[in-house]
Structure 1
Amino acid sequence: MTTVFVVNSGSSSIKWELLDAESGSIYSGGIVERIGEPGGGAANHDEGMHQILAGLGNEHPAVVGHRVVHGGAEFTAATVITDEVERRLDEISVLAPLHNPENLKGIRAARAAFADVPHVAVFDTAFHGTLPPEAFTYAIDADVAREHGIRRYGFHGTSYRYVAGRAAAMLGRDLADLKLIVFHLGNGASVCAIDGGRSIDTSMGMTPLEGLVMGTRSGDIDPGALFHLGRAGMTLPELDQLLNRRSGLLGMTGTGDMRDVQSAADAGDETAKAALAVYYHRLRHYLGAYLVALGGADAIVFTAGVGENSAATRRETVAGLEGFGIALDVHANSRSSTQARVISRNDSAVKVLIIPTNEELQIAREAVAAVSL
C-alpha cells in the first residue's frame, strides 16, 4: 500500500501527483489551472478531477492524500476522511475561508472518483500541535478567544516535518537531539523553531497572514493600524484585500516576485532595495527570537522557492552573526544547485543548510501511515 495519489486543491487549480510513498518515485503529476474561469482548464473541480483521472489511465492508487490547510485545534495528525470528518472540516473552514473550502472541493471530487480507496487529510497546521500554551495563546479576553478559536495554529507544517527529518539525516544526528530553525520562504513565508522534532514556536498565527514579509501579505502589523484605516473609511473586505493581496513585496515595490525585486535592487532601484531591507529585517528579527527560544541552534535551514534559490536572502539573514557561531561559506551559498547541501563554513558551530522541500512525498507518507494504524 505505497502508491499514493496526492491532491492539492486550491481556489482555481488542482495540483496532483501519483507517487510511491516508500521510494519517492513519481509516476505522474500535473496541474489543472484556472478552474471556473473563462477559457480555463475546467468548468469546476469535479470536471478538473475527471481530467486528471483520464491522465492517470489504468493507474489506481492504494490511498489518496489531501493537503488541507487548516485543521484547527481538533486535527493534529493525518486523519482518515469519513463523512463526519468532512463535515467537521466544513465547519472549521471559518478559520481559513480562503483555503479550506477549496481543499474540500478537491476532497469531494476525489472521494467521488475513488470511492473504493481510503482518503486521508494531511494538515498544514498539524505539526504545530506541539506548541506550548505560551506560544499559541494571544493576550486577549480568554472567553472571546475560546469562543472563536483565536490562537496561533501555524502553517507549512508538512514542509517542516519533511525538512526536519532530512536535516537530521544530513547531519547524521538523531532528530530528537536537534535544535533547528527552519525558514520556509516562498510567496507565502514562515519560520519555525523545532526542538527535538517538535514545533515550539512559529511565525504564522491564527491565519497565514501573521509573521514574515511575504509576496503579497504584510506579515506582522500593528492591529491599531487597521482600526485607523477603518475609521478612515476602509471596509473589512478592503482591509482583507489590502493585507492578503496588496501588501508584502507587491505592496512595497509593485511586484510580489522576489526574483523581480532582487533584479531591480541589483540594478540600483532604491524602492526595491528598501523593500528587501524590510524583508531581511523581519527574517533576522525571528531568527534572533528563535535562537533565544531554543537556547541556541544546531542548524539553520532554508527551504521553498526563495529559501532554496535566493543566495542574497540566505546571506543577509545570517550576515554578521559569527559571534553567535553562525558562519556562512559565501562561495557555497552562491553556487547554484538543486541538491540539499551545507552552506556554512567548516568552523561554523551552527550549520546552515539548504534542503529542497517535498510536501507531496511527506503527504504520501503520512497518508500511508494513517491508513496503516
Structure 2
Amino acid sequence: MALTGELLLVVNPGSTSTKVALYRGETVVAGASLDHSGAPWATSREVIDQLPHRVRMVREFLKEHGIGPGSLVGIVARGGLLRPVRSGAYLVNEAMVADLRDGVGGRHAANLGGLIAWELSSEGRIPSFIVDAVSVDELGPEARLSGFPSIPRKSLLHALNIRACARRASRDLGRDLAGLYLVIAHLGGGFSICPFYRGAMRDVNNSNEEGPFTVERAGTLPALALLELWRRLGGRELKHRLTSRSGMFGYLGTKDARAVEKKAKEDRHTRVVWEGLAFGVAQEICAMAASYPEKLDAVVLTGGLANSADFVAMVREYTGFLGRHLVYPGEDEMEALAAGALRVLRGEETTRVYPETEAV
C-alpha cells in the first residue's frame, strides 16, 4: 500500500545494517533494519565501496512503500567523521560529500549516511541533512590542552544521543536548556562522558583515545608502556586492538554486557572487571562535574549499559553525592535525527552550511 503525505526519510547506517524509517511529523509510518551482514560486498575493506549497494537497498525500501521523490519533504542521515562542526543540522552539500568520500576525519560506516542522503536527494534537489555529527566540537580552549603542545585534545562523541538526552532532561527538570549544567554519560560500545553546560558540550573523553576503558576500547593508558607496545606491534595493529579488542572484551573475551553481568554473580575475576567498568565511568563523571565552579543540576546516564540496574547502581554508589540522577536507557537515534530535521524544516532552527567558515 502506497503511503501518502509529506514524508521525511531517516537513514542511519551501521557496520552490519542500515536502519531506515519514514516519518510523518513525529510519527513513524514505516521502518526497517536492512541487514547486510552476510552480503559479499559487506566485507569490503573500504567502507565507501558499500555505498551503491546500500543506496540500492534503501531505494528498494522506498519502492516497497510506493514512495517517489515527490513524496519526500526531506532526508536526514547520521553524520560521519567530518571536519569539526557545531551542534545542529547541516545541509548535505558538495563539500560535505567530498569530505565524506575522502574520509577526511577517518573511515567509518557513519560516513555513508550523508552520501546515501545525497544520492537519494538527486544530488541536492530534495533537502537532505545530517544532525549532531560525531565530529561536533564545542570544547572550551582549556579543554583542548593535552599537556603535550603538538597533540591537542579532539572532540569525538555521541553528540546525537547526548543532545537528545539534554533536551529530555530539560523537559523533565522544567528548566531551559541554556541554563542547565549536566554531566551526560553515553554508555554504549564506546563511552562519551561530557559536561553539558548552558547548551553546549564543553568537554568530552574521546573514547578512541582516552577516558575509562569501555566494552571494547582501552581508554587512557600509561604513555611510556604504550610507546613500547607500539614498537612491538606497529601502529595499525595497535590501533585495532585499542579501539575494538580491549576494555571489557580484552579482559573477558566478550562484548556481551548482559552475559558479563550474569557471570559476575558467580565468578570473582568477572566481577572485578564488571565493577572496574563502573568505577572508571564514575571517576570520569566526577572529573567532568568539576569542569565549572557551579552546582550540578543532574547526572544523566544513557546508552545500552543504562539498561542494567546493577551497573547503574554501581556507578551511583560513587556519584550519588553529586545530586540528582536521570536514567534514560538505550538511545533512539532515528527519533533524534527526525526531530533535528523537523526543527529546521519548520523554521525553529537555522540550517548550518558545511564547512564552517569560522573556527569551531
Do the two structures share a fold, i.e. TM-score over 0.5? Answer: yes
Give the corresponding residue for 2:255. 256
Deviation at residue 306 of structure 1 after TM alignment: 1.1
Is the 1:8–1:66 Cα contact (8 Å) retained in structure 2? yes
Give the corresponding residue for 1:365. 339
Which whole-Å deviations, capped at 9, do the CAs of 1:142-164 have from their partners, x for residues lacking one?
4xx5xxxx541131111111111
Give the corresponding residue for 1:19. 23
* Alpha-carbon distance between aligned partners in 2 of 1:29 and 1:158, rounded to the nearest angstrom: 20
Give the corresponding residue for 1:73. 84
Deviation at residue 37 of structure 1 after TM alignment: 2.6
Tell me whether 1:138 sits opposite 2:146 in the alignment. Answer: yes
Give the corresponding residue for 1:3. 7
Is the 2:186–2:301 Cα contact (8 Å) retained in structure 1? yes
Give structure 1 stretches of 5+ with no counterpart: 327-349
Residues 100 and 25 of structure 1, relative CA distance in 2, 3 Å threshold:
closer
Is the 1:66–1:107 Cα contact (8 Å) retained in structure 2? yes
Superposition pairs for residues 319-330 of structure 1, below 5 Å?
A: 319=317, 321=319, 324=321, 326=322
User: Taking every aligned residue pair, what percent have the same amino acid on both sides?
Assistant: 25
* Alpha-carbon distance between aligned partners in 2 of 1:301 and 1:182, rounded to the nearest angstrom: 5
In structure 2, what residue type is equivalent to 1:5? Answer: L
Bigger Cα displacement from structure 2, 275-284 vs 287-296: 287-296
In structure 2, what residue type is equivalent to 1:46? Answer: V
Tell me whether 1:53 sits opposite 2:62 in the alignment. Answer: yes
* Alpha-carbon distance between aligned partners in 1 of 2:53 and 2:37, rounded to the nearest angstrom: 6
Give the corresponding residue for 1:354. 327
Query: What is the CA RMSD across the aligned residues, in angstroms?
Result: 2.8
How high is the TM-score relative to the length of structure 2?
Answer: 0.82
Deviation at residue 105 of structure 1 after TM alignment: 4.7
Deviation at residue 63 of structure 1 after TM alignment: 0.8
Deviation at residue 101 of structure 1 after TM alignment: 4.1
Is the 2:93–2:124 Cα contact (8 Å) retained in structure 1? no
Residues 278 and 164 of structure 1, relative CA distance in 2, 3 Å threshold:
same
Q: How many residues align?
A: 332
Is the 1:135–1:152 Cα contact (8 Å) retained in structure 2? no
Q: Secondary structure at the match of 2:10?
A: strand
Give the corresponding residue for 1:301. 300
Give structure 2 stretches of 5+ with no counterpart: 43-49, 351-360
Deviation at residue 137 of structure 1 after TM alignment: 3.5
Give the corresponding residue for 2:354. none
Q: 2:181 aligns with which of 179, 182, 191?
A: 179
* Alpha-carbon distance between aligned partners in 2 of 1:96 and 1:184, rounded to the nearest angstrom: 21
* Alpha-carbon distance between aligned partners in 2 of 1:120 and 1:52, rounded to the nearest angstrom: 20
Residues 110 and 215 of structure 1, relative CA distance in 2, 3 Å threshold:
farther
Is the 2:92–2:118 Cα contact (8 Å) retained in structure 1? no
Is the 1:3–1:62 Cα contact (8 Å) retained in structure 2? yes
* Alpha-carbon distance between aligned partners in 2 of 1:35 and 1:110, rounded to the nearest angstrom: 22
Is the 2:79–2:130 Cα contact (8 Å) retained in structure 1? yes
Give the corresponding residue for 1:124. 133
Which whole-Å deviations, capped at 9, do the CAs of 1:344-370 have from their partners, x for residues lacking one?
xxxxxx221122443222222322344
Is the 1:62–1:118 Cα contact (8 Å) retained in structure 2? yes
Is the 2:23–2:30 Cα contact (8 Å) retained in structure 1? yes
Which whole-Å deviations, capped at 9, do the CAs of 1:66-117 have from their partners, x for residues lacking one?
11132322455421112233113334x24222345444553454334x8641
Deviation at residue 265 of structure 1 after TM alignment: 0.2
Superposition pairs for residues 91-110 of structure 1, below 5 Å?
A: 91=102, 93-110=103-120
Which whole-Å deviations, capped at 9, do the CAs of 1:185-209 have from their partners, x for residues lacking one?
112222111112221221226xx44
In structure 2, what residue type is equivalent to 1:48? Answer: M
Residues 53 and 318 of structure 1, relative CA distance in 2, 3 Å threshold:
same
Is the 1:216–1:250 Cα contact (8 Å) retained in structure 2? yes
Residues 35 and 196 of structure 1, relative CA distance in 2, 3 Å threshold:
same
Which whole-Å deviations, capped at 9, do the CAs of 1:149-187 have from their partners, x for residues lacking one?
x54113111111111111111111222222111111112
Residues 82 and 104 of structure 1, relative CA distance in 2, 3 Å threshold:
closer
Give the corresponding residue for 1:86. 97
Is the 1:180–1:194 Cα contact (8 Å) retained in structure 2? yes
Give the corresponding residue for 1:285. 283
Give the corresponding residue for 1:229. 229
* Alpha-carbon distance between aligned partners in 1 of 2:223 and 2:200, rounded to the nearest angstrom: 30
Q: 2:170 aligns with which of 141, 165, 168?
A: 168
Give the corresponding residue for 2:212. 212
Residues 291 and 139 of structure 1, relative CA distance in 2, 3 Å threshold:
same
Residues 220 and 20 of structure 1, relative CA distance in 2, 3 Å threshold:
farther
